[in-house]
Amino acid sequence: MKISHRFILFFLFWVLATIGRTASAQVIPLNKYGLPVVNSVSLYRQLAIADSNQLLVDVSGYIPGIRKEVRYATSNNFTHRQLYASNAVYLRLAAARALKAVQQELNKKGLGLLIFDGYRPYTVTEKMWEIVPDDRYAADPRNGSGHNRGVAVDLTIVDLHTGKPVRMPTDFDDFTEKAHHDYPLSDSTVTANRRLLRNVMEQQGFVPLATEWWHYVLKDAKKYPLTDIRFEELK
């Protein structure tokens, strides 16, 4: 039986792609919970070379006009401790690209984005859990989080004319029912602001967390590995 050159080439590409995917999965070391965690810059770079969407980019440089208020770089957060040594916000390229589209859409309305948090090194999640071991408020390190994968973002909307955040149901990291997406609100303006943020984020492939109006993650979060690279190593 004659086999065409096209079939042979297709088969070789398939084999190489399969080997590449298997090799990538195997090189990521397992932590004490049996989770694969990228914990070295060299490994992170290898993955990013193989797939540019794995790149962690600084959103301040990637998204024009975006604002940030990194609470975990201060003690003004639910742990009352400074957890980040840097106020930089990083996201995987795919998430940053989607967020850039959100920013552009909001700009048409005289609005913009204010970021509270993006990529979070896995060890910070462990520290949070030590301080507040409650999965209603902190991610369990036995599972990791979308933040550790670089595709979750905490954010709100700002009015570009005043420079101030629009009114939302609660402050960031408020762990009451008022922060839930389905919490009934009497203020129609606040309700509209919460809905607007959800609509523009969902249009670009983000999924909301039911209990936190500010938290969104890409639908395909599991495509991106848990990562434990310090901010200063990403510069």
Per-residue pLDDT of 114-143, as tens digits, reads 999 999 999 999 999 999 898 888 899 999
- Is the pLDDT at 84 greater than 60, yes or no? yes
Residue 135: predicted pLDDT:
87
Active-site residue, selected from the candidate residues 105, 177, 202, 212: 212
**Taking the alpha carbons of 220, 225, 227, 232 in that order, is the dihedral positive or negative?**
negative
CA atoms of 201 and 233, how far apart (whole Å) = 29
Q: Which 3 state secondary structure label does DSSP give 171?
A: coil
Residue 15: predicted pLDDT:
38
Is 177 an annotated catalytic residue? no
Beta strand ranges found along 82-151 (DSSP E): 90-92, 111-117
The mean pLDDT of the chain is 91
pTM of the model: 0.87
Report the pLDDT averaged over residues 207-234.
Answer: 96
